[in-house]
């Protein structure tokens, strides 16, 4: 399994941007649950906590394509520094609003600012990989490695922020997230030799969302994002209902752990099945894996169920980003990948809001039905529109 990953990091500066991207992306797994734990503790309402977390994700979803377009136009280093600075100030404002028990609207405004200034560092790192290994067999492995990194972040982040918020201080998790975001972002901005060069924009190119295949992928990832957002919040409520709130981060880590394991395996294989075929199959497996969690009433068993449910996440993300890289022209690559992130962000916001409402109305176990319905939506859309994802056969990749 390790073989294909050998030699992936030998290029100049590769280890540096991988490490910076890892640190800078830690908040993507910490912000959601950190905000939920903090706001629920202050307001005693999962509905408000989910709505505030949702506001953050909506703002990110709206702003991500804009920051992606700015990155393609001006280069990563010129965009990262001002956005990272504003994001740190916005997150500080959110924590101060909660600490001072200011009116609820201040929480929403601060959350919107946090989301609007959050950068899609994963898209930027993947753009660097595309610049380094475009046209090479290593690109599939590089995208697989990045999905594994995402899942390592989602394994460690929720557990870390939960321990910090419940055992140290309700604000501690978000403080650590702020430090990671700023340090990793600035470190990535300073590594100019590995950033993709600014590409000339073709006249009339428009936005990548106008490409039919990208529009389809965005709809699919909207559904998947709703799964992620609802599972995050409902799982916190599930653990709380069973007297194990401190275990919520570990349950979410199990969900991400399944994805991490499958990502390592998926990226180590050379596939004969088309990207489109892999994508559709991964979606189907995801739905089947989610079904059992509606019927689990025990915390340790739920950890196993979530681990199994997570096995299809990485293959779905890996193939989605690979399809995007093939469908989008180089001058719009960062923005194209940002549209995937923005769709997930919208979905996470919808899932967090709906998950909070449904949890308070029907209880956590029943609320998981919403997560399953969103996964079914993603499968139906993906299969129905899969013809838009057919790609011409690429030339045999260079062996490297």
Contact 10, 171 (CB under 8 A): no
Contact 293, 305 (CB under 8 A): yes
DSSP state for residue 136 in the 8-state scheme:
B
pLDDT at 20: 93
Highest mean pLDDT among 19-28, 140-149, 239-248, 386-395: 19-28
CATH number of the domain at 113, please.
Answer: 1.20.1250.20
Q: Is residue 367 part of a domain?
A: yes
Residues in the chain: 400
Helix (H, G, I), strand (E, B) or coil at 398: strand
Mean pLDDT of 247-270: 82
- Predicted TM-score (pTM) of the model is 0.74
Q: Which residues pair with 398 in a beta bridge?
A: 136
Q: Give which of 144, 127, 126, 132 is closest to 4, Cα–Cα.
A: 144
pLDDT at 3: 58
pLDDT per position as a tens digit, 280-294: 898 999 999 899 998
Q: Is residue 111 part of a domain?
A: yes
Q: Which domain holds residue 74?
A: 13-196+209-388
Q: Is residue 202 part of a domain?
A: no
Query: What's the number of domains the chain is made of?
Result: 1
pLDDT per position as a tens digit, 61-98: 788 888 888 888 888 989 999 999 999 999 999 999 99
Q: Is residue 394 part of a domain?
A: no
pLDDT per position as a tens digit, 338-379: 888 788 878 887 888 888 889 989 998 899 999 999 999 999
Q: Is residue 155 part of a domain?
A: yes
pLDDT at 134: 65
Q: Is residue 286 part of a domain?
A: yes
Q: Is residue 224 part of a domain?
A: yes
Mean pLDDT of the residues in the chain: 85
Q: How confident is the model at residue 381 (pLDDT cuts 50, 70, 90)?
A: very high
Q: Which residues make Cβ contacts (< 8 Å) with residue 277, sequence separation at least 6? A: none
Calpha distance 135→278 (Å, rounded): 20
Q: Is residue 51 part of a domain?
A: yes
CA distances from 34 to 27, 152, 252, 375 (A): 9, 17, 13, 25
């Amino acid at each position: 399994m390790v073989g294909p990953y050998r030699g992936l990091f030998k290029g100049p500066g590769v280890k540096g941007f991988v490490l910076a991207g890892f640190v800078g992306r830690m908040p993507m797994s910490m912000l959601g649950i950190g905000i939920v734990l903090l706001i629920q503790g202050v307001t005693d309402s999962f509905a408000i906590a989910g709505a505030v977390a949702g506001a953050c994700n909506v703002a990110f979803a709206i702003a991500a394509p804009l920051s992606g377009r700015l990155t393609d136009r001006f280069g990563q280093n010129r965009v990262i520094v001002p956005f990272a600075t504003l994001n740190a100030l916005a997150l500080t404002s959110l924590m101060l609003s909660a600490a001072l028990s200011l009116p609820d609207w201040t929480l929403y405004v601060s959350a919107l600012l946090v989301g609007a200034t959050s950068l899609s560092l994963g898209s930027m790192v993947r753009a660097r990989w595309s610049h380094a290994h475009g046209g090479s067999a290593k690109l599939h492995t590089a995208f697989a490695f990045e999905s594994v990194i995402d899942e390592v972040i989602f394994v460690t982040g929720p557990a870390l922020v939960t321990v910090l918020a419940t055992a140290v201080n309700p604000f501690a998790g978000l403080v650590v997230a702020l430090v990671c975001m700023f340090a990793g972002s600035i470190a990535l901005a300073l590594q100019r030799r590995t950033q993709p060069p600014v590409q000339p924009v073709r006249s009339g190119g428009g936005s990548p969302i106008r490409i039919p295949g990208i529009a389809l992928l965005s709809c699919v990832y909207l559904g998947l994002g709703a799964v992620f957002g609802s599972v995050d919040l409902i799982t916190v409520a599930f653990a709380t209902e069973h007297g194990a709130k401190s275990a919520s981060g570990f349950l979410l880590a199990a969900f991400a752990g399944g994805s991490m394991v499958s990502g390592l395996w998926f990226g180590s294989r050379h596939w004969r099945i088309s990207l489109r075929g892999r994508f559709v199959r991964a979606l189907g497996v995801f739905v089947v894996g989610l079904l059992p969690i509606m019927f689990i009433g025990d915390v340790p068993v739920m950890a196993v169920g979530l681990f199994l449910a997570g096995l299809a996440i990485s293959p779905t993300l890996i193939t989605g980003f690979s399809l995007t890289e093939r469908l989008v022209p180089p001058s719009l690559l960062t923005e194209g990948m940002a549209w995937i992130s923005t769709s997930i962000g919208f979905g996470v916001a919808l899932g967090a809001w709906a998950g909070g409402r449904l949890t308070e109305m029907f209880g956590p176990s029943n609320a998981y039905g919403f997560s399953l319905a969103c996964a079914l939506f993603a499968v139906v859309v993906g299969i129905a529109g899969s013809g838009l994802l057919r790609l011409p056969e690429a030339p045999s990749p260079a062996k490297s």
